[in-house]
Structure 1
């Protein structure tokens, strides 16, 4: 079937629908819907059998939806309408939420129904991105397949929402404004968490800390400390512990008006002087109890603690230079323990490589980028050179660029079905590092390594498994995935073949080192990256700035995704491909 994905942005959900439906054998085109003229041009150019809109903010023109089957996937249950669906669901502590596939009509989100799903919402206030990238995305992909199947059935007719009776649990809600999000630091912790997490990612919630007006993001429950609500009790790296009416919350990120979203302590800067009335810094260690906010942690699981798990739960999957140093230290700590298997896992997003916001927020953005890539290289080296244990990476959420290459440093890569990989750097004007010229070809071969890094296309679970990019794909939600990862690691640690597997790993690493020392890959990659960053030969500075500033996405205005991605960077020379770097 010929399907047009019409979207406001080629976001993670759209990429996932694209990869899944392609695996089903359908022909897909992607176009961005900036305005009515763009929508009309997209339909006229592609002449699809079905227009599917997994992420669409714009209204579909009447002449398009009257002349073409246009189905919108809306992140709300039957009857829900409006652009702030998930924000309201979190704010109002809805116990059940859902996703609905409906036909486009004059009124947005009001058309007849093609299908719907519901799911329970967690009692603990969830982050908006966790809901969207988790149960909403899972349900949306199921609905996309259902819509495609129904579109091929000549007898199918979508039904009005009112015909579903008691299943209609949603209603029309307005766009959520800052006045709807407002909170006081004197409010209970749960109230503050809900407000901040409902606005996480964008637009945040306006507030004030240390006398500075800002928007806050990335809230985590903290331990209560005596003091006035709104005062700052502790600083842990970039996060600040702020007292509430009945406890405290950690605020990980913030943004001043017109500024860049950065770690909260960085945003406040000098305003923190005198604002911390207790211990100025709470040191984070790879072991020890958590009080609700710990980016990097280590725990032992399994019989006799045979498996060590390092978790790097980094906001939006971005790893700054300082975070990279801390993750590398945690991995060294884990490798020194008397465990048999080391598991490295990420948070909601596994990793997207360097922290572009932190780099952009520095006056020496290029130098900070250089520090950043070197710190992440150190993380990759710890994974690649750990020969005292078997190493497993658990990719439970999406990964991109250096984050994908980082995962490949393990002996076994486990992927949660639904997590999309983007193993390329070109959309940011970089040739890449993270030992990728060693790790990628040894897994997938030179031909696929060139294809993955050249074409700038997302890779779904089926293709990742088929090509050897990952070793196993696990089903279920994130909780089920994490449990299966531990079970897998315990089986490795306690199985009869453990000693032989470890010996084979050690022999292979020694042979690879004799053939070509590992550090030569890093040196050669960084030689290219130095030109990317300091000479700016492929437009890294501009692309980084546009990404951080959330500049309008102009990708996918041409017939194929590959060509569209190239068009987005058409003003820059094509970077060397993997074959030229890896030799």
Structure 2
């Protein structure tokens, strides 16, 4: 079936559908919702049997849905209508929510229903629920609908009705934080509902901010609204009967940057008393296995973050255990260097250089671990340098449903580093390595296994995958073959170093990368600016809009020139 994905942006859900639909054998193309005439042109060029809208912010033109069956993913239960459905579900404390697949009609969210699915809600950030429960439910709904279409069956309901109701867009007042009136738990619910976009509003030290990435600050209190402590880049803000740790802030201005709280609050916050707060890196041991848990917001890793994780690995290596598991966050494993912090500095080129070198030091620390096996537990999505960070480990254990974007080129044709020119060919071979870096397409677990980017499949949701990760790591630690594998690894690393030192790979990569940072071509800087400032796309990249590139699937995956 020819399926066109129409989306406001190629977000995590859109990428998951793109991966799973192609894996199922469908011919899939993507068009970003830029203008009605562009959508009409895409339909004319591709001639889809079905259009799916995973993420839209405005209606599909009537002449388009009258011509082509258009199914809209609505992140709400049956009968729910209007924008901000998931936001309202969190604000209202819904215990069960869902996804409804609705056929486009004149009245928004009111058309025939082709499938639905429900799930229990978690007390967590909107973005996390979207990446997991909403994405899994939406994917299941799409495949149920396709099955009905292929069987020549129609929708399961003539209109969208059920226990849900029509609600307006969330107003600013619904997202406003008032430390004098709200408890930390009440404020946290608003922040969770506003996570990702647009953020919850809060005045700090007389300045307005949008707040993201918060958690309860146990045992911390102070005058409501006051900054009372700091921990690394987070600050504690007092509310009625307690406080919250605030991780990320953004000024309420168009195209402003979301940054760690301490970056935006400046000297006053830096002078706060430092106490123990949320830890980005946490180490624990279970038998003969060391687990290093790490989480960086949206997977972005600044120079300081890279140093922090590297130091945590060094400390973990001081423990004489045969297995070290690098267990990344269930939402994002890593997306490489921190483009937001780079964009915020006086010299983006200098900070880019500092950040990539810090990332290289981290990767080298993992590669040179020769006295044990290192497992990368990739439970969340990974992109760019974050994928190659995982390849520094001996094995990559990947959760079903996680999505990889193992390429740099969409960021202004960035060359990349992280020793990828050593790690990737060694893992998958030269030909497959070129396919990985040049295709510019997201991939799921099946393709990752086919190419050699993943070595073990972790099934189920994050909790189930985590249990399987722990069980498999314990089994590996008890294996009689472990000592031989470690010895083989040490010998292989010595042979590789003799043939070509790691320092040579790094020097070659950085020589190419320096041109991106300091050269005459500004493509990287322009792409980074547009990405971090959320500049709307003016066109759909031909890597995903195959109806604009021409050719079949094999041709689309054919390596291109550097």
TM-score range, shorter chain: over 0.9
Counterpart residue number, 2:151: 153
How far apart, CA to CA, are the structure 2 residues paired with 1:214 and 1:15? 31
Change (3 A) 1:516 1:388: same
How far apart, CA to CA, are the structure 2 residues paired with 1:486 and 1:559? 38
String of CA shifts for 1:254-310, please: whole Å, max 9, x gaps.
012333111111101134366x3xxx2236xxxxxxx5x221111112x3xx11111
How far apart, CA to CA, are the structure 2 residues paired with 1:511 and 1:140? 48
| Match for residue 272 of structure 1 among 269, 273, 285 | 269
SS in 2 for 1:319: coil
Counterpart residue number, 1:183: 177
| Match for residue 356 of structure 1 among 315, 334, 339 | 339
Counterpart residue number, 1:138: 136
2:258 is the alignment partner of 1:281: no
Shift of 1:224: 2.4
| Match for residue 297 of structure 1 among 276, 282, 304 | 282
Unaligned runs of 5+ in 1: 284-290, 567-573, 578-583
Counterpart residue number, 1:59: 59
Counterpart residue number, 1:569: none
The 5 Å alignment of 1:183-332 reads 183-186=177-180, 187-258=182-253, 259-272=256-269, 276=272, 280-282=273-275, 293-301=278-286, 303=287, 306-332=288-314
String of CA shifts for 1:138-164, please: whole Å, max 9, x gaps.
11111121121111122334413467x
How far apart, CA to CA, are the structure 2 residues paired with 1:270 and 1:192? 25
The 5 Å alignment of 1:356-435 reads 356-429=339-412, 430-435=414-419
TM-score normalised to the size of structure 1? 0.91
Shift of 1:560: 5.2
TM-score normalised to the size of structure 2? 0.94
8 Å CA contact retained: 2:230, 2:269 = no
8 Å CA contact retained: 2:327, 2:377 = yes
Shift of 1:364: 1.5
Aligned-residue CA RMSD (Å): 1.9
How far apart, CA to CA, are the structure 1 residues paired with 2:545 and 2:334? 23
Shift of 1:231: 1.5
String of CA shifts for 1:520-572, please: whole Å, max 9, x gaps.
11111111111110115361111110001101123436595469799xxxxxx
How far apart, CA to CA, are the structure 2 residues paired with 1:267 and 1:94? 34
How far apart, CA to CA, are the structure 1 residues paired with 2:134 and 2:368? 38
Counterpart residue number, 2:166: 172
SS in 2 for 1:426: coil
8 Å CA contact retained: 2:114, 2:154 = no
Structure 1 consecutive aligned stretches of length 4 or more whose deviation exceeds 3 Å: 557-566, 574-577
SS in 1 for 2:398: strand
8 Å CA contact retained: 2:81, 2:165 = yes
SS in 2 for 1:448: helix
How far apart, CA to CA, are the structure 2 residues paired with 1:373 and 1:563? 36
Q: How many residues align structurally?
A: 549
Counterpart residue number, 2:554: none
8 Å CA contact retained: 2:291, 2:326 = yes
How far apart, CA to CA, are the structure 1 residues paired with 2:35 and 2:468? 44
How far apart, CA to CA, are the structure 1 residues paired with 2:221 and 2:326? 36
Counterpart residue number, 1:519: 503
How far apart, CA to CA, are the structure 2 residues paired with 1:120 and 1:140? 15
2:482 is the alignment partner of 1:485: no
The 5 Å alignment of 1:415-564 reads 415-429=398-412, 430-535=414-519, 537=521, 539-556=523-540, 558=542, 561=545
SS in 2 for 1:203: coil
